[in-house]
């Protein structure tokens, strides 16, 4: 169902506007189109039903018990806990559809699961540092969805006081950034971060980077980057196919990610979502009172192995050693310091010669594991609420990531794998497969992961959540 007015025509690249009411009953029993994208990430794991700019849609999954109670006029004094989940995809691809985000495991435990589509890639994160194209639209979409949930939670049996915001990969980064934003106040109670944190190393929120990517995109789409308002006017009338082709080229040129969240200045008439770099906000105690789970997998970057080989990352690093550094470091130090740090990194991880497996280990540690530990450390030092950490290192009997992406690697848990034990991969699973009671090692892990998350969501105090 729509949670805002669709961002079409003059609303392209703008903050979402309130939804216009409709007459009669809206049939909302099937998933709608996903947002425009060029997907080189998910492969067989995703099975979208269509693609359109009319894509800001929410999927609300409610336990049948809620409706059984209502049909029998049984009063439910308190609503059910709500999990709002932000999908991943490197800020470039993905959707909230049940192909990869099946709610079955959690709904069976009495949780309302809300997934949603939000603007991604150029539509979600193009920034011209202006009021006409401010950037961070993807984050604004998430905040708009959370406001929609607060207004409507009780209508579908939920408790607006027990909203947990979660995400995976860039969805986890977005969840963290939203929690750090002054614009989120009162919209959520807890945060679950899976394989991504705002201070992570795989992207940079630098305005200089945002400007360079915007300039590259405008060049490929054939727009002269001068006046931001005139650029926006031209983008309004540019055909979708032309925009997406330029977006595709930018993705190929930049590697794993291209359009990303950016630190924003004050602008009249624009909601400022990210007012400083995430690491600075965390250290200053922003969101210090939110209970938090921070999770990583043991071999995160195995998920990207095919992409790493396709881009020839080892060749790129051989030509330019600075390319090995996380973007948030590259854009925050001098060139001489970057050269010094890159030499240290290469000596540490590529001893005896560079290999893809060595790069994957480096990528896992520096882009994901280290930032997650630093976030937990910083938050625990300034905060008053509990911070829980986990590492997913489970060698499953049926590995959805290996099967869906045709990957092979020995043991461990790659990116997305932990999510598949919380949200069902309906694109690959037998529709009649049951998860409870536990029968196999995989089912036991699903039971453990969902119990861990649901206990955290339901407990109003972090002390009781620890049990």
- DSSP state letters, 172-239: HHHHHHHHHSGGGTTS-SEEEEES--TT-SS----HHHHHHHHHHHHHHHT---S-HHHHHHHHHHS-
Phi, psi of 347, deg, nearest 5: -60, -35
Distance CA 2, CA 54 (A): 9
Domain boundaries along the sequence of the chain: 9-315+361-465
Distance CA 304, CA 100 (A): 17
pTM reported for the whole predicted model:
0.93
Look at residue 324 in the predicted model and tell me its pLDDT: 94
Q: Work out whether strand 58-61 and strand 112-116 pair parallel, antiparallel, or are unpaired.
A: antiparallel
Q: In what order do the strands lie in the sheet with 158-168?
A: 58-61, 112-116, 80-86, 158-168, 190-194, 292-297, 387-392
pLDDT (tens place) for every residue of the chain, 467 residues total: 999 999 999 999 999 999 998 999 999 999 999 999 998 778 778 888 899 999 999 999 999 887 766 655 555 667 999 999 999 999 999 999 999 999 999 999 999 999 999 999 999 999 998 888 989 999 999 999 999 999 999 999 999 999 999 999 999 999 999 999 988 888 999 999 999 999 998 999 999 999 999 999 999 999 986 788 899 999 999 999 999 999 999 998 888 789 999 999 888 888 889 999 999 999 999 988 899 999 999 988 998 888 899 889 999 999 999 999 999 999 999 999 999 999 999 999 999 899 999 999 999 999 999 999 999 999 999 977 899 999 999 988 888 888 877 788 887 788 888 899 999 988 887 666 555 455 688 889 999 999 999 999 998 544 445 54
Distance CA 284, CA 382 (A): 8
Which of 114, 115, 113, 120 lies closest to 94, judged by CA?
A: 120
Q: Give the count of beta carbons closer than 10 Å to the beta carbon of residue 230.
A: 13
Q: Which residues of 397-423 are buried (b: 16+ CB within 10 A; e: fewer)?
A: eebbbbebbebeeeebbbbbbbbbbbb
Taking a C-beta distance cutoff of 8 angstroms, is the pair 9, 236 a contact? yes
CATH architecture of 9-315+361-465: 3-Layer(aba) Sandwich (3.40)
Full DSSP string of 388-434:
EEEEE----SS-HHHHHHT---SSS--TTTGGGGTSB-TTTS-TT--
DSSP-based helix, strand, coil % in the chain, nearest 5: 45, 10, 45
The residues, any chain, with a CB within 8 Å of residue 86's CB and separated by 6 or more, are: 96, 116, 118, 142, 165, 166, 167, 168, 171, 172, 174, 175
Taking a C-beta distance cutoff of 8 angstroms, is the pair 128, 233 a contact? no
Q: Give the count of beta carbons closer than 10 Å to the beta carbon of residue 10.
A: 11
In the three-class reduction of DSSP (H, G, I as helix; E, B as strand; rest coil), residue 60 is classed as: strand
Which tokens sit at 363?
Answer: 């990528």
Q: How far is CA 337 from the centre of its chain?
A: 31
């Amino acid at each position: 169902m729509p949670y805002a007015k669709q961002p079409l025509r003059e609303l392209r690249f703008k903050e979402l506007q309130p939804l216009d009411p409709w007459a009669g009953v809206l049939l909302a029993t099937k998933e709608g189109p996903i947002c425009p994208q060029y997907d080189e990430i998910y492969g067989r794991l995703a099975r979208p039903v269509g693609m359109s700019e009319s894509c800001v849609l929410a999927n609300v999954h409610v336990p049948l018990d809620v409706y059984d109670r209502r049909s029998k006029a049984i009063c439910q004094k308190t609503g059910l806990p709500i999990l709002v989940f932000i999908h991943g995809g490197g800020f470039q691809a993905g959707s909230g559809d049940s192909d990869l985000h099946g709610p079955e495991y959690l709904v069976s435990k009495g949780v309302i699961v809300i997934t949603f589509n939000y603007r991604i890639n150029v539509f979600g994160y193009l920034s011209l540092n202006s009021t006409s194209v401010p950037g961070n639209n993807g984050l604004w979409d998430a905040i708009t969805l959370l406001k929609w949930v607060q207004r409507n939670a009780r209508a579908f049996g939920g408790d607006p006081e027990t909203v947990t915001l979660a995400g995976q990969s860039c969805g986890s980064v977005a969840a963290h950034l939203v929690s750090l934003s002054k614009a989120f106040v009162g919209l959520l109670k807890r945060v679950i971060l899976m394989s991504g944190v705002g201070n992570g190393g795989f992207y940079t929120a630098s305005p200089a980077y945002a400007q360079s990517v915007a300039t590259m995109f405008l060049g490929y789409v054939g727009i002269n980057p001068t006046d931001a308002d005139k650029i926006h006017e031209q983008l309004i009338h540019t055909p979708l196919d032309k925009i997406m082709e330029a977006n595709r080229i930018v993705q190929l040129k930049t590697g794993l990610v291209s359009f990303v969240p950016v630190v924003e200045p004050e602008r009249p008439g624009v909601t400022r979502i990210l007012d400083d770099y995430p690491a600075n906000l965390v250290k200053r105690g922003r969101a210090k009172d939110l209970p938090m789970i921070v999770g990583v997998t043991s071999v995160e970057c195995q998920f990207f192995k095919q992409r790493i080989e396709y881009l020839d990352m080892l060749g790129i690093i051989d030509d330019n050693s600075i390319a090995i550094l996380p973007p948030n470091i590259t854009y925050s130090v001098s060139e001489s310091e970057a050269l010094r740090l890159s030499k240290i990194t290469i000596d540490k991880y590529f001893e005896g010669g560079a290999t893809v497996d060595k790069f994957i280990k480096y990528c896992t540690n520096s882009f994901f594991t280290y930032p997650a530990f630093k976030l937990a450390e910083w938050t625990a030092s300034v905060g008053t609420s509990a911070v829980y950490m986990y590492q997913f290192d489970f060698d499953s009997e049926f590995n959805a990531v290996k099967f869906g992406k045709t990957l092979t690697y020995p043991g461990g848990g790659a990116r997305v794998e932990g999510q598949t034990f919380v949200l069902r991969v309906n694109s690959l699973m037998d529709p009649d497969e049951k998860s409870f009671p536990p029968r196999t090692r995989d089912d036991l892990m699903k039971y453990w992961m969902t119990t861990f998350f649901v206990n955290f969501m339901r407990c109003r105090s972090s002390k009781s959540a620890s049990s």
